[in-house]
Structure 1
Amino acid sequence: MSDLKKPVPLPFGYTFLSGAIAGCTELLLLYPLDVVKTRQQLHTGKGGVGMMATFRSIVATEGASRLYRGIVPPLMLEAPKRAVKFGANGYWGNLITSNGQRKNTQLLATLTGCAAGATESVVVTPFELVKIRLQDKSSTFAGPLDVIRHSLKTSGPLGLYQGMESTFWRHFWWNGGYFGAIFWVKSLLPKPERGEILNNLAAGTVGGFVGTSLNTPFDVVKTRIQLKGTGEWAYPALFKIAKQEGFSGLYKGFAPKVLRLAPGGGVLLLVVEALSTVFRNYLGPPYI
C-alpha cells in the first residue's frame, strides 16, 4: 500500500473525544479500586491490610459513597489526560519514526510510550495531588476547591505540583510498559479477518498489567509525597521504603491497582479503537 493510500490521522477533536469517552468509562467502572489502592499505599510500616479487608473497612466505617470520594478531579481530568496520552504517543511516534519512514520496533514503541508518559505527567500532577488528599482516611477537606485553596495558601502556586518528579516517573514507566506491551502482544496475535476487538482487549489488558507492575513503586512514593507535601526525590524515597518496610512495601496497593488498570487498559484501548473506527467510517476517505 502506498503512502497516499494510507488513512490519514483523525482530526484532534475526534481523538480527544475518543480518549475522553474511553477514560471516563474506565474510571466510572473501576474507581473504587483506586480508593482502596491509595489507602493501602498510605499505610506505613511492615505488612499491611489486605485489599478486601480495606474495602470492607471503608464501607463499614465510612459508607459506600466514600469509595467515590475524590472522583471529581480525575473525572475532570480524563478528557485532557487521555487526549494527551494518545496524542503524545502519536506525536512522539511520528517524530521517532520520521513519520513512518523508519519501521517501528519493540524498542521504539516502548520509548514512544515513555515519552508520552513524561508529557502526560505535566497535566496530571495537580489533579493527582487533589485526589490523594481527598482519598486519605483522615481527610477533612470539604472538596477539591478546598484542597486547592489550602495548597495555594500554604505552598503557593507551585504547591499544586508537589510530587511532580515522582509523578513523572510513574507515568514514564507505565506508558512505556503499556504501549510497549501492546506492540509486542499485537505482533504475536494473528490478524483477524473481521475487526480487532479481542486483539485490542488482550493487548490493552497485558499492557495495563505490565505498566502497573513497572510503576507501582513510584506510585507508592508519589502518593506519600503528595499527601505530606514533602520535597523528597523518587529514587531515594524508594530505597527508604524498601529499607524500612521491606520490598513488599513498594508494592502496597498492587492488587486493587492491577485489578483496575489491567482490565482498564484493555477497556481503554478497546473503546479508543472502536470509536476511532466509527469516526473514520463517518468521515469517510481519506480517513478510512
Structure 2
Amino acid sequence: MSPYRPNPFFSTTNTFFVPSVGDKVDNAVAQAKAYGKDAQAQASSLAHKADLKFQDAKEAVKDTVVDATQDTPTGIDLYARFALAGALGCAVTHGALTPVDVVKTRIQLEPEVYNKGMVGGFRQIIANEGAGALLTGFGPTAVGYAIQGAFKFGGYEFWKKKAIDVLGVDKARENRQAVYLGASAIAEFFADIALCPLEATRIRLVSQPTFANGLAGGFARILREEGPAAFYAGFGPILFKQVPYTMAKFAVFEVAAEKILAATGKSKDSLTGGQSTGLNLSAGLIAGMAAAVISQPADTLLSKINKSKGAPGQSTSSRLVQMAGQLGVKGLFTGMTTRLVMIGTLTAGQFLIYGDIKKALNAKGGVEISAVPK
C-alpha cells in the first residue's frame, strides 16, 4: 500500500497555496497585538512629554504672576541670593569639618608619621600639639570656601539657566547631563580663581603650624616673602581637583535626586519639609562620595605642592609630574577613607543648607530640566 499523502490543497502549512483562513486570522491577531504594544509605548511616551510640558507651562505661568504679598527676585537680585546661600552652605560645612581636614592634610603630607588612620591621626595631633591644633587654618577655610561657594552655587544656577535659554527647554532636557557638567565646570573655574590664595594660605598653616598666627599673618608672610605668584602655585592642581569634583558633585546630585523622585513616584513640589531634607541629604551624600574619589589624586598633589617652596627655576608642572611619579597610584590615594567621610558629609550638608536658605530667601531656580516633573 502506498504511504498516505495529504492533499496539499487542504494543508494549513503548505506555502505553495494561499494560507488557510485560520493562519490569516492568527497573523492578523499577532500583528494587532504588536501594533497595540507599540501604540501603547508611544502613547506612554507622549503622555510623559505632555506632563512635562504641562509642568513647564505651570512654572511659566507661576513665574509671570506677581504675588502682591511676596517679593519674587529676578536678575542680579536672584543670583545674589543663590550666591549667599552657597556661601553660607560652604562656609558652615567646611568650617565645621576643619579638624577632619587638618588630619587629612597631615596624613597626605606626612604618611610616615600619621599612619594610624583618621582616628589615630586625631589622637596623635591632640597628644603632640593640643586640641587647638585641630582648628589650624579655620580662618582661611571659612573665608575661602564662603567666597568659593558664592561663585560655585551662584555660578552654577546662572550658567545652567544660560544653557537652557540657548538650547531651549526640550533640547536642554534631552542633554541635561551635559548642561549640568558644563555649567558646573564654568562656575568652578571662576570660583577657583577666588579660592586659590586662601587655600594656599590654609595648607601652609596646617603643614607648618609655626608659619604664622592665623589667616592675616599667613597671607601677609607669603605675599612678603614669595610674592603674589606663590598664591597661584597650586592653581593647576586646584583646577584639576575642583573642576572634576564640582562637575561630579552637581551632575551626580541632579541625577541621584531625579532617580530618588522617580522611585518614590513624587514630584519635587509635592514633598514635605522632612522629605525634601531627606532627598537633599541622600542625593548629596551620593554626590559627595563620587566627587571625593574622582578628585582625590589632585587633592593630594595640591597639599604637597603648597607644603613648601619649589626649587629655583622649577616650574609648577614639573613639580607636579615629579611628585606624582614619587607618590605612585597608592600614594595619590593616601587619606582616601578620611576624605570619603569628610566630602560625603560636607556635600550632603551643603545641599541641605543651600536648599533651606534658598527657600528662606525665596530664591527659586530657573526652568527645571529634570525628566521628573517638578
Q: Report the TM-score when normalising by structure 2.
A: 0.68
Moved more, 77-86 or 219-228: 77-86
* Structure ID, larger Rg: 2
RMSD (CA atoms): 2.6
Give yes or no for the alignment of 1:12 onto 2:75. Answer: no
Aligned to 2:155: 88
Deviation at 1:49, TM superposition (A): 4.2
Deviation at 1:163, TM superposition (A): 0.8
1:140-159 alignment runs, 5 A limit: 140-159=211-230
Taking the aligned partners of 1:260 and 1:153, their CA distance within structure 2 comes to 33
Deviation at 1:189, TM superposition (A): 1.0
Deviation at 1:225, TM superposition (A): 0.9
Aligned to 1:203: 283
Aligned to 1:222: 302
The CA deviation string for residues 65-88 of structure 1, in whole angstroms up to 9 with x for no partner, is 110011001112233221111111
Could you tell me which of 111, 117, 140 is aligned with 2:188?
Answer: 117
Give the aligned residue type for 1:277. Answer: K
Taking the aligned partners of 1:200 and 1:57, their CA distance within structure 2 comes to 35
Could you tell me which of 293, 297, 305 is aligned with 1:213?
Answer: 293
Q: Is the 8 A contact 2:83 2:149 kept in 1?
A: yes
**Unmatched 5+ stretches in structure 1:** 284-288
The CA deviation string for residues 242-280 of structure 1, in whole angstroms up to 9 with x for no partner, is 543331211112222221111211111011111212222
Q: Is the 8 A contact 2:79 2:157 kept in 1?
A: no
**Unmatched 5+ stretches in structure 2:** 1-55, 64-72, 365-374
**3-state SS of the aligned residue for 1:280?**
coil
Taking the aligned partners of 2:221 and 2:207, their CA distance within structure 1 comes to 15
Taking the aligned partners of 2:242 and 2:110, their CA distance within structure 1 comes to 22
Aligned to 2:145: 78
Moved more, 76-85 or 123-132: 76-85
Question: Aligned residues: percent identity?
Answer: 22
Equivalent pairs, count? 280
The higher relative CO (CA closer than 8 Å, separation ≥ 6) is in 1
Give the aligned residue type for 1:275. Answer: I
Q: Is the 8 A contact 2:85 2:357 kept in 1?
A: yes
Taking the aligned partners of 2:116 and 2:309, their CA distance within structure 1 comes to 24
1:93-112 alignment runs, 5 A limit: 93-98=160-165, 101=168, 102-104=171-173, 105-112=176-183
Aligned to 2:361: 279
Q: Report the TM-score when normalising by structure 1.
A: 0.87
Q: Is the 8 A contact 2:114 2:124 kept in 1?
A: no
The verdict on how the C-alpha distance between 1:44 and 1:146 changes in structure 2, with shifts beyond 3 A counting, is same
Taking the aligned partners of 1:21 and 1:46, their CA distance within structure 2 comes to 35
**3-state SS of the aligned residue for 1:103?**
helix
